[in-house]
Structure 1
Amino acid sequence: THWKHGGIVGVRGYGSGVIGRYSSLPDLFPNVANFHTVRINSTSAFFYTSKFLKEMCDIWEKYGSGLTNLHGSTGDLVLLGTTTENLEPIFAEFTSRGWDLGGSGSAMRTPSCCVGPARCEWSNINTLDINYSVTQEFQDEMHRPAFPYKFKFKTAGCAVDCIASIARADCSIIGTWKGKIAVDQAEVANYAKKGMNIGEEIVNRCPSRCMSYDGKELKITDEDCVRCMHCIANMTKALKPTGEKGATILIGSKAPFVIGATLSWVIVPFMKMEPPYNELKELVRKMWEYWDEHGKNRERIGELIIRRGMREFLEFIGVDAMPQQVKEPRRDPFFFWTEEDLQRTV
């Protein structure tokens, strides 16, 4: 395409939210010599009123091309195609109605989440409130780029992960629980009666092999359960989580760039998620401090951890090493001790 991507363009006081798009052939295509993209900070779980959508369309028809993208892969409400002189009027129109620009460049990108408790009975956390709280807390990090590269938050209410946080977010927040899975054996029998092959579709697909079915009863060894939600999602009337609810915090997923696509991996197996979510916010600030200290230009935080090692990262942010953080057993017979380990009294 004949586009020159990037360029210094934006609104006063903001370093992100507008992506400069310039045609490399302005003489041939004068009407799209400037065709900038504006990102509007989306709502939690993408709930909008019809009143706002009509207002948004009116503003964009007045100042832009009329092309929209709901939503971009980051989660913003994307307005495609406007000129430099229209950026400030567009910004004024939206901010006067209580809306704001989203993130772009080497900054925190606009957080997004699944519908959570708004429409889903299986959500273990209030994804919408967490998403809103994170957005409000880190406004400066979103609108004034200061990171080595982009950083994304996505929050899912359970491990079904409808928002795909484990594949698309530098920090994935996924709802989980501590108790047992409650089993209604009468409903299990109903599923079998209606034709479900419980042994093949449920038991054999359990990643930790914690289930068994003898044709009459479904039994679960809860201490081996990894809370993947597969069985619950497929037998919603028979199974449900119980006990204390919270979230698993994961780090590092990204699309291909330097080292290829990666999925997030666990750093905190269980964290209580209660407003104002100070434990989460303090952890995030420590992770950013490590990234700012050691990250290279255009290096995602997951790539940094892979390059320098999870042990150093965990020591810096003050999180103890746990079995849940281990992807697979070690392949070498060596132990690596720090000087502090050797000086520690037993």
Structure 2
Amino acid sequence: MPKHDTPLLDELEKGPWPSFVTDLKRQAEKKPECFDILGQLELSFRDKITHWKHGGIVGVFGYGGGIVGRYSDVPERFPGVAHFHTVRLNQPSSKFYSSAKLRDICDLWEKYGSGMTNMHGSTGDLVLLGTTTPNLEPLFYDLTHNLNQDLGGSGSNLRTPECCLGRARCEWGCYDTQDLCHSLTMHYQDEIHRPAFPYKFKFKFSGCPNDCVAAIARSDFAVIGTWRDDIRIDQAAVQGYIKGEFAPNAGAHSGKDWGKFDIKKEVLDLCPTNCMWMEGDALKIDNSECTRCMHCLNVMPRALRPGVKQGATICVGAKAPILDGAQFATMTIPFLEINKDTEYAEVIEVIEKIWDWWMEVGKNRERVGETIMRIGLPTFLKVMEVTPLPQHIKEPRSNPYVFWQEDEVEGGFERDVKEFRKRNAQ
């Protein structure tokens, strides 16, 4: 395939940072179709529009997801990318790979595809960029039979579940994110591979409120590790930070001298609910006001630890802009025990209660968060059998009319009459 002049893309090779353009040019020496990728992208830069057509329907036998169709709208100019499909692979929990597995995947992709990869996509999948329709079935056979590797999700289905490093490497993990992620991935194979939902649905699992996989911003079902008792305090370690014996933020900013640590300025005054104070040399916390922002724990990890009664908060309905713009997930279940002994039955119950409602009332291409927004949070909470909390209120009531359920009106009236008669009898 001929090389293409790419003056606009060439600009991206200038400067101190590595460039995907340089990588593509190097890869094109082995895989000439990469020259056409560069040519088409240059044309898109010049025309200021994409030259990929709508994905269309393409996949492997028995699966409705995992392959994203890619077709050029100028195939006569760039035949190497006339069809150039994307393959999503289900990544292991926390993306722990062996070097041997990565080498095998790359070798297979050099055999069947362009050799280009995306490590990783927004949902988490290991993404293989660019192959032809005839190569999909042999690639899939080798992946599943020889590498024991499955496809991820795409389309209106459960997308590939993703989790943080959790207890494998993080001291803040309040539940085993890796085991929950893997267990639900195996439990919901049909939902991952055979689209049946109104639109996409994403699980993300963060072991603590630091939320390192941005679950609360990017997933329909966010499981955020938390605790329901008091933060544990090591008062001797608190003094160690105050006296300069320990570096704050676990030494993360050791490259710059920030001066002497000031617990009032750097911890107490930054608490969003002002629930911390010093009494003499002792640090005090009003745990009933703590919102689990994690700031104090991150600054003084030797001194502060999560409580021992650990579990997770379930937040529902985050998404990027689709119909009604970006939105964060809504806290739905304040605390849920994450119990491996029950095979996570309590989590599965919440998931399927959401799905039953959403699949009945959701519109085509409507994320669950958009369904909640359209129908109303009070209705969703009633479906979930959750008692409304102050945290569920977005703003004070602006509608002066109060609408009661019929049973609430009748029941309340009867109670009032009985109470009135009882007082009069006395």
Give the Cα–Cα distance (whole angstroms) in 2 for the partners of residues 171 and 240 of structure 1. 26
Task: Find the partner of 1:322 among 384, 389, 413.
Answer: 389
Quote how far apart the aligned CAs of 1:333 are.
5.1
Matched, 1:179 2:229: yes
Residue identity matched to 1:315: K
Residue identity matched to 2:275: C
Partner of 2:213: 163
Give the Cα–Cα distance (whole angstroms) in 2 for the partners of residues 51 and 173 of structure 1. 31
Partner of 2:304: 239
3-state DSSP of counterpart to 1:250: strand
Matched, 1:308 2:375: yes
Q: Can you give the 5+ residue segments of structure 1 that lack an aligned partner in the other structure?
A: none
Q: Which has the bigger relative contact order, CA under 8 A and spacing at least 6?
A: 1
- Listed as ranges, the matches of 1:100-179 within 5 Å are 100-179=150-229
Matched, 1:50 2:99: yes
Give the Cα–Cα distance (whole angstroms) in 2 for the partners of residues 75 and 168 of structure 1. 11
Q: Which is richer in helix?
A: 2
Q: Which is richer in strand?
A: 1
Task: Find the partner of 1:198 among 260, 263, 271.
Answer: 263
- Listed as ranges, the matches of 1:41-120 within 5 Å are 41-96=90-145, 97-120=147-170
3-state DSSP of counterpart to 1:254: coil
Q: Can you give the 5+ residue segments of structure 2 that lack an aligned partner in the other structure?
A: 1-49, 245-259, 416-426
Q: 1:155 to 1:22 in 2, by over 3 A?
A: same
- Listed as ranges, the matches of 1:203-282 within 5 Å are 203-213=268-278, 216-275=281-340, 276-282=343-349
Question: How many positions carry a matched residue from both structures?
Answer: 346
Give the Cα–Cα distance (whole angstroms) in 2 for the partners of residues 279 and 343 of structure 1. 34
Quote how far apart the aligned CAs of 1:282 are.
1.4
Overall identity of the aligned pairs, in %: 54
Residue identity matched to 1:10: G
Give the Cα–Cα distance (whole angstroms) in 2 for the partners of residues 35 and 63 of structure 1. 11
Matched, 1:5 2:54: yes
Give the Cα–Cα distance (whole angstroms) in 1 for the partners of residues 330 and 55 of structure 2. 32
Q: Check the 8 A contact 1:198/1:213 in 2, yes or no.
A: no
Worse overlay, 179-188 or 272-281: 179-188
Deviations 1:252-307 (A, max 9, x none): 11111222111111110000001211111111111111111111111111111111
Higher gyration radius (CA):
2
Quote how far apart the aligned CAs of 1:331 are.
4.2
Worse overlay, 144-153 or 77-86: 144-153
Give the Cα–Cα distance (whole angstroms) in 2 for the partners of residues 344 and 279 of structure 1. 32
TM-score by length of 2: 0.78
Q: Check the 8 A contact 1:151/1:169 in 2, yes or no.
A: yes
Quote how far apart the aligned CAs of 1:157 are.
0.4
Partner of 1:16: 65
Worse overlay, 186-195 or 229-238: 186-195
Residue identity matched to 2:290: C
Give the Cα–Cα distance (whole angstroms) in 2 for the partners of residues 45 and 327 of structure 1. 34
Deviations 1:127-177 (A, max 9, x none): 001101111111111111111111111000000111111111111100001
Worse overlay, 195-204 or 58-67: 195-204
Give the Cα–Cα distance (whole angstroms) in 2 for the partners of residues 257 and 285 of structure 1. 24
Residue identity matched to 2:182: Y
3-state DSSP of counterpart to 2:71: strand
Give the Cα–Cα distance (whole angstroms) in 2 for the partners of residues 170 and 127 of structure 1. 17
Deviations 1:58-85 (A, max 9, x none): 1000000000001000110100000000
Give the Cα–Cα distance (whole angstroms) in 2 for the partners of residues 165 and 142 of structure 1. 18
TM-score by length of 1: 0.96
The alignment yields a C-alpha RMSD, in angstroms, of: 1.5
Give the Cα–Cα distance (whole angstroms) in 1 for the partners of residues 395 and 282 of structure 2. 32
Give the Cα–Cα distance (whole angstroms) in 2 for the partners of residues 329 and 278 of structure 1. 36
Worse overlay, 313-322 or 119-128: 313-322
Residue identity matched to 1:274: N
Q: 1:215 to 1:258 in 2, by over 3 A?
A: farther
